[in-house]
A and B are shown apart, each in its own frame.
Chain A
């Protein structure tokens, strides 16, 4: 069965500092991978996605993520965090053309301090 693990429940960073949010997945083949962001009281917005090809993908709002097959990871990064980045971040996995379900990790809550 597919699963997604986000080891960090909560992260606090200073504004302007770099950020890395971890995501590990368990899946037999190469899945489709996604990062979503959720602001308080809002729905989920797609930050970026990986299907195939270049393992470093760029997203919106200055975020990027790197797919590492050997580590079954898809970590999200941002070089310099802004106060507006404070939100909940979810990693998600899709079974691609072999599965119909769409699974989410438990999320990482990001606090940004001035």
Chain B
């Protein structure tokens, strides 16, 4: 079972560039989440979705966008990358407990 798959694993962006972090789950979960993890700060919720076509902001949504056109996919978009977006990003899906991808380490220079 693949579970939650995130791509890419690593990426370096220049300031002002854009990119999409991909997240796919094969467990037919309705709930999906994007978090960012910074040292000593735990995981901060960026956006979440309760089903296809429905998304909502979490704690730190500024600078990000999401879409949920299918149950399986929940991509995270960075439109104008800033150094403050340097972080490790985790996607998760859940029915009861959450299952996590392996993370995307993003550096903005």
User: Measuring CB to CB, which residues of chain A are less than 8 angstroms from any residue of chain B?
Assistant: 6, 9, 32, 34, 36, 42-46, 49, 51, 90, 92, 100-107
Contacts and interface: CB of A to CB of B under 8 A. Distances in A.
B42 to A, nearest CB: 4
B90 A103 contact: no
Contacts of A100: 31, 48, 50, 56
Chain B interface, >50% SS class = strand
A89 B27 CA distance: 25
A104 B43 contact: yes
B96 A101 contact: no
Contact of A51 (B94, B96, B103): B96
A44 B90 CA distance: 9
Given A43-B101, A100-B31, A49 B96 contact: yes
Nearest to B99: A46
Given A90-B42, A90-B43, A107-B42, A102 B100 contact: no
B97 A34 contact: yes
